[in-house]
Structure 1
Amino acid sequence: MVKKLKTYVNKYFSDGPKTAAIIVSVSIIILIMVIFSIRKTVTISVDGKYKNITTFSNTYGNILSSNGIKIGPKDKVSPSLNSKVHNNAKLIIKRALKVEVDVDGKKLSINSPENNICDMLKAEKIKLNSLDKVVPYKYSKLKKGLKIIITRVESKDIKSSSQIQYETVVKDDESIQQGSNRVIQEGQNGKKETVTRIMYENGKEVSRKVISEVIKKQPVQKVIAMGEIPDYSPSRGGNFSVVRSLNMKSTAYSADYESTGKEPGDTDFGITATGTVAKRGTCSSVAVDPRVIPLGTKLYVEGYGYAIAEDTGGAIKGNRIDLFFNSNSEANDWGVKLVNVYVIN
């Protein structure tokens, strides 16, 4: 460029000294222009601290080298050190910090330039599972000397089946003697399925919790009928089993005309509804309402004795019993009274 300039000057300016002065001046101007064209101003940020540097270097690596700024193997630099330098550019340097990581039974010493724990773990390819615990919080800012503890957490759901014990229910039954019982319904165990969640930390169980129970089969109650009817020992002696007891209004009658409207010699005189001869003795005849006590039923009447339901009467309806006596005077002496009547075997 200078040679061309000299030729140009000699062509139009014939004075030698004057020509030389012009050439020198123009050369200086051109040199200054070249210097300004290759000089650049770069802002360097080191961990948030800024510094402006004027440089003629073409790469950021050369800038740092010429300014005595060293880069560690884990330091993060942006743009890269080999990138071409542009005027008014910014170079950001993030120094790596030394932290300690306790994970999978190992204690790791790590230098990292990342902003937080989570980014550091990703950069170091330390994988976190969804349940894993990180102390401090995984998005905490990295600090020099920070100690990080990672606890591996695992969850397992275990299914198991178990029996549901049946209940035994006892019901009173007036058709069964006291001291006796009868199984009305056999019991059956049920079945349930349980899901238990077991939590492990670093391979050791720390808790277990039932998270669901499903009844697969309902249990069936065992039902036992317990006898309610007592064995009765009347005051006159003897012993019998009571099928059921009734409290009844009692009256008395005889075969006499006053009770039956019949006299000796009349048809059916002294004959009961069942065709037997009415009697008073060890097992006397009584009249009942067959809808309450069926004819032929064996009875024991308190204060009267053993009897059998053999007769009926027009006035004997419902919860009423008519007791046979041998004479009208005995019947009148009995009168009307409430009595306990036992149906017996």
Structure 2
Amino acid sequence: MVEKLKDYFKKHLSSGPKAISAVMLVLAILTVVICSMRKTIIVSIDGKEQKITTLSSTYKSALSNNNIIVGPKDKAIPSLDSKVEKGAKLSIKKAVNVNVDADGKQLTIQSAEDSVEKMLEKEGIGLKEFDKVTPSKDAALKDGLKVAVVRVETKEIKETKPIDYATVVKKDDDMEQGTKKTVQEGQPGEKETISKVVYENGKEISRKLVSETVKKNPVEKIVAMGTVGVYTPSRGGKVTYKDSIRMRATAYTSSYADTGKGPGDAAFGITATGTVAKRNSNSYSSVAVDPRVIPLGTKLYIEGYGYAVAEDTGGAIKGNRIDVYFNSSSEAENWGVKWVNVYVVK
């Protein structure tokens, strides 16, 4: 610049001694002024330093004059609009590209912030207390970093739910086995529950029961189940019974050979219960039993024989044995010895 001024003065001003002296004085003053305006500063870009000399008054123009480009998201300390100080250091952090997945959006963000948290805050992506961030909020930014924000929300959900009723089965000795009847209809109860539900990005991930209050108790359903057995004899009809026993059956008569009593004996033909022994094919006949197995007076139905009453006992009738009565020895002999089902009549 000084040389250009010299050439200008030579062409346009007189070349006399005084004029030359004046020109030299002006040039000297200009040189001093220019030297005082020149400043050398250190520019650090991502830690890499370089020195530049500038006459610019602000850092922005100083960088521009030295072809140093600063992007809109780059971070400079001090501010680029501040006044250039001689020997000062200007630190520039270049913005990097960060991929952010948040609130259902895929964003590519340029940022020169120091951490993930500061970057999100700068971009207006606020975080609530329980939100999750990957990587961690204090992780440093780097080019190509992928950041995921998971919104975490907790709600208390109040619900009214039914309470199932129980079904109770009770035995009914007045109903046939295999039949049932509803005695009382069941009614569901009602309860109020409060659950703590956690959502991540709007999707439920956990549910924990906080409280449960019964508002209405359920009414149990009662079903009567028949216990009375039904036997259908080959001759027709049906026999209802409450128990059955498999027994060894023999036959006897009122004869002396069977009872040890003759026709002239006062006890001839009399059972242990004091009744007259009888065979009645259309009604109840007399049979001898072990009272420890079948109590005397019990009404029975004997397979192949018919209805009977336990009225008699016998010295040989012990345990699961029964002696059926016939009017004649021939009938008794025809009966012989056999295993039969004995039903205790209901």
Same fold (TM over 0.5): yes
The aligned residue for residue 50 of structure 2 is 51
Once residues 324 and 105 of structure 1 are traced to their aligned partners in structure 2, the CA distance between those partners, rounded to angstroms, is 95
Residue 304 (structure 1) aligns with? 305
Alignment of 1:247-262 (within 5 A): 247-262=246-261
Aligned residues: 302
| Contact preservation (8 Å) 1:287, 1:316 | yes
Q: Deviations over 1:180-215 (max 9, x none)?
A: 3266998675777574736474xxxx5345634698
Call closer, same or farther: CA 1:341–1:75 in 2, change over 3 Å: closer
User: What is the CA-CA distance between 1:150 and the residue it aligns to?
Assistant: 6.9
Q: What TM-score, normalized by structure 2, do the two folds share?
A: 0.62
Partner of 1:197: 197
Distance 1:308 1:113 in 2: 108
Query: CA 1:196 to 1:275, structure 2 compared with 1: closer, same or farther past 3 Å?
Result: same
Q: Is the 8 A contact 1:116 1:142 kept in 2?
A: no
Q: Distance in 2 between matches of 1:63 and 1:303?
A: 125
The question of whether the paired residues in 2 share the 8 Å contact of 1:259 and 1:328 is answered with no
Equivalent residue for 2:294?
293
1:268 aligned residue: 267
Helix, strand or coil: the match of 2:274?
A: coil
CA distance in 1, matches of 2:241, 2:313: 23
What is the CA RMSD across the aligned residues, in angstroms? 5.2
- Cα distance in 1 for partners of 2:218, 2:188 equals 5
- Cα deviation, residue 263, structure 1: 1.4
Structure 1 CA distance for aligned equivalents of residues 268 and 105 of structure 2: 117
> Once structures 1 and 2 are overlaid, which stretch shifts more, 277-286 or 235-244?
235-244
Identity %: 52
Flag the 1:77–1:108 CA change in 2: closer, same or farther, 3 A: same
Q: Secondary structure at the match of 2:120?
A: helix
How many angstroms does 1:239 deviate by? 3.7
Unaligned runs of 5+ in 2: 1-34
Deviations 1:310-342 (A, max 9, x none): 111222121111111223343233221111222
The answer (yes or no) to whether the contact 2:227–2:242 under 8 Å persists in 1 is no
Q: 1:234 to 1:61 in 2, by over 3 A?
A: same
Q: Which residue number in structure 1 is paired with residue 339 of structure 2?
A: 338
Q: Which moved more, 1:187-196 or 1:293-302?
A: 187-196
Give 1:279 deviation, angstroms: 0.9
Shift of 1:254: 1.4
Shift of 1:74: 7.0
Give the distance between the partners of 1:223 and 1:292, measured in 2 at CA: 34
Distance 2:325 2:104 in 1: 103
User: 1:112 & 1:280 partners in 2: Cα distance?
Assistant: 114
Q: Which range is displaced more, 99-108 or 158-167?
A: 99-108
Q: Structure 1 residues 325, 62: CA separation in 2 closer, same or farther (over 3 Å shift)?
A: closer
Cα distance, 1:176 vs structure 2: 4.4
How far 1:76 moved relative to its partner?
3.6
Contact 2:247 2:322 in 1 (8 A): yes
Could you tell me which runs of 5 or more consecutive residues in structure 1 were left unpaired when the two chains were aligned.
Answer: 1-34
Encode CA deviations 1:20-56: one digit per residue, 9 max, x unaligned. xxxxxxxxxxxxxxx99x998532124555321357x
Q: Distance in 2 between matches of 1:181 and 1:74?
A: 83
Q: Is 1:158–1:198's contact at 8 Å kept on the other side of the alignment?
A: no
Aligned twin of 1:328: 329
Equivalent-residue separation in structure 2 for 1:299 and 1:54 (angstroms):
129
Structure 1 segment 1-345 matched on structure 2, within 5 A: 42-46=41-45, 50-53=49-52, 68=65, 76-79=75-78, 85=85, 90-94=89-93, 113-115=112-114, 118-123=117-122, 126-129=125-128, 141=141, 154-166=153-165, 168=167, 176-181=175-180, 193=193, 195=195, 197=197, 199=199, 201=201, 206-208=202-204, 211-212=207-208, 224=223, 226-227=225-226, 229-281=228-280, 282-345=283-346
Contact 2:97–2:142, Cα closer than 8 Å, also in 1: no
What's the CA shift for 1:108? 11
Whether the 8 Å CA contact 1:191–1:215 is kept in 2: the answer is no
Q: Is the 8 A contact 1:136 1:148 kept in 2?
A: yes
Indicate conservation of the 8 Å contact 2:183/2:222, yes or no.
Answer: yes
C-alpha distance in 2 between matches for 1:63 and 1:178? 105
Distance 2:339 2:179 in 1: 30
- Report if aligned partners of 1:103, 1:150 keep a CA contact under 8 Å in 2: yes
* 1:140-170 deviation line (CA, Å, top 9, x unaligned): 84779x9999775544352434235346577
